[in-house]
Amino acid sequence: MKKSLLMVVTALMVVTTACSSGGSKSPSNSAAPTSAPAATTAGDATKEPVTLSIVAKDLMGDDPGVQKLMKGIEEGMKAEGKNIKLKVVPVQSGTYSEKLGLLLQSGNIPDLIYFQGGDYQFAVTQKILEDLTPFIDKSTNVKASMNVFNQERMKNYPYLLWLSPLNSAVPVVRQDWFDKTASGKDLLSNPTSDNYYAFFKELKEKSGAKYAYTAAGTLDELDVMFGQSFGLTSTWIKGDDGKYAFGKTTQFEKDKLLFYAKLYKDGLLDPEFLTKKWDTKEKAFYDGQAAIMAGTQGKVIDIYNNKSVSQNGAAAKVMTLPPAKGKAQGYTPVDISKESRGFAIAKTSKNKDMAFAVLEYMAGQKGQMLDKLGVEGDEYQIVNNKIKLTDKFAAWFPHFVESTVNFKPDKEFDPATPYFSEQASKSLQMFASMSTKDNTFVIPAELASKWDASTAKYKEFAADLVTGKKSAADFDKFVQDWNAAGGKEVTEYANKTIK
């Protein structure tokens, strides 16, 4: 298993960029920290514990697994001389970023805050996020667990820390259904958009699926496969005149959307792709309604594989599909402008050093063993001096450190229960070998509303063109509307900013 992990780590290190859906982000105006902190301030384990409040999307105080995780962190840190008590702050059900916003606006600002979108407006208006650079500079475990993409993103936006593989999607198909097709072999040797179209048609026919490809409310999950093949090699495309234009306003985008419209018209694209959520998308795949979906490479592909096999049998393991080949080939260009999610430390916290100490502990070997594998005797056992995952492990997932860059267990995994399946490892390797760096940048606060307005114009038009409500003749009008909504000003800024 050490060899398997080494392959995964190597794959991660080969990539030279970080993930994105192709858009740009808005920045924070957080002020510099009030002092240069020590990254791992030691507390006196004999004194009363320091209470740290924490809020995160998947941390629910009444969840037995979360309670076990919090207890494990407290006990592990106490053994290292840092006596803390973690208090999980509840967030109302609903869209996490919105509900977190209500929590913060109420004045209840936890010490540790996990953001999944929405950090920009809070940082700009309330200036509540601490610059993590001084903490990271003095760290050991966090620094060792950062890949080059984390490092570049932190330079651009030093407020969110997310120790994770690139949060980018790759498409997967059921292996048994792929094997039923004759066009699959041609596809792998020459994955053009035309060959993909032929493959989709045969796949739908041979598998009995209702449609070939499903997505959760966005075309981004189709773009991971097709975007670069149509020439969309970056968010901003340099023209013959030497100036940059927003890729989604170019002929490349028009050609891509017309291809998607053909998929939609011919019943190869899920007709409900605009309204589907991630859970209904995945259900459509597991239930055999859809043949292909995209998911984050690595651990998510592992989950897809396990659930597919569990529901449909051993032959239904998943395989990662390559990006289409055309004007270029690659998965979605990777955004290095900022982390799109991650943990922040509140500027209002009275215990910033200890708050970072939690992140530092979780990036160490003991913290990663707990975060990734659970509790010995429950989620895993040591059998014949090897780590053997139990049935309970299927319900456990990391909350703090998904990356395997600095994950070095002192024992090998039992071959029957590897940490990453063959499919998950392959997805990491394929992404590492077929990804490129994007040229996105952090949108300044004064242009954020214009960027949001122009982005909304694009999403509306793209959906209408794909579903047949608009035609190719409407594309030029869309570009005019995009510019009028604020795209013109953002484009001018892009041409001043991109080097």
Are residues 113 and 344 in contact, defined by beta-carbon separation less than 8 angstroms?
yes
Q: 338, 167 in Cβ contact below 8 A?
A: no
Task: Report the residue count for the chain.
Answer: 499
**Chain centroid, CA 175 distance in Å:** 24
What are 335's two structure tokens? 């955004």
**pLDDT under 70 in the chain at which residues?**
1-46, 123-125
R_g of the chain, CA atoms, integer Å: 23
Instruction: Specify the pLDDT at position 45.
Output: 59
What pLDDT is attached to residue 336?
86
Q: How far is CA 79 from CA 76, 220, 366, in A?
A: 5, 45, 11
- Give all domains of the chain, ordered by start, each with its CATH number: 23-166+337-408 (3.40.190.10), 169-333+440-497 (3.40.190.10)
Task: Give me the pLDDT at residue 37, please.
Answer: 44
- 248: exposed, middle or buried (C-beta count within 10 Å: 0-12, 13-18, 19+)? buried
pLDDT of residue 499: 84
